[in-house]
Amino acid sequence: MAIRPILHYPDKRLRNPGKPVSDFGPEFQQLVDDMAETMYAAPGVGLAAPQIGASLQLFIIDVATDDDQASDLRIFANPEIVELHGEVLYEEGCLSFPGVREDVVRAERVRVRAQDRHGNSFELEADELLAIAIQHENDHLVGKLMIDHLSLLKRRLVHRTLTRRAAEGAAAE
């Protein structure tokens, strides 16, 4: 198990689309374990493989964030959103955009088809935070980021803030 560094915007690797998962062997199992450890340490309710620089069609979600609830880790390999219903506004965060919280409109309910960590196919109908997280993570798999859902004004603001922070970080090194 290892906590891996989460890529921060404007890191170009966040834009790389993931390749399909075809090998569910030991390396894949290790990646899933590392992603889970990284997500819980952040903490976050979701994490997509491209966020730690692994270009795979893979994300994990655990919306049972309160400590009292047992963790409910879900693995989505090669996910496909097959149905979208309704509309909902939610103030999202993203581990690749530290400190940014912006309203994003998403579908209220989704039906998703994917494979679990052993490659078994499943289908899931989700609503509430799980539905939002599925859509947020699925975007990461095609290199789409939260910033792409914002108005041009907000996008510029977030871009400038995080680009300046990255430049300052580099200068400080």
Write out the catalytic residue numbers: 137
Distance CA 107, CA 139 (A): 13
Beta carbon nearer to Zn ion, 32 or 95: 95
Q: Residue 10 binds what, of ligand K2U, Zn ion, none (CB under 5 to 8 Å, by partner type)?
A: none
Distance CA 120, CA 168 (A): 45
For residues 2 and 37, is the Cβ–Cβ distance under 8 A? yes
Contact pick of 14, 54, 95, 147 for ligand K2U (by CB under 6 A) = 95
Binding letters toward ligand K2U, positions 46-65, x by CB under 6 A: xxx-----------------
Beta carbon nearer to Zn ion, 77 or 94: 94
Structure tokens at 161: 């803030």
Is there a cis peptide before residue 79, judged by omega within 30 degrees of 0? no
Q: What residues make contact with ligand K2U under the rule CB under 6 A?
A: 44-48, 92-96, 129, 132-133, 136-137, 140
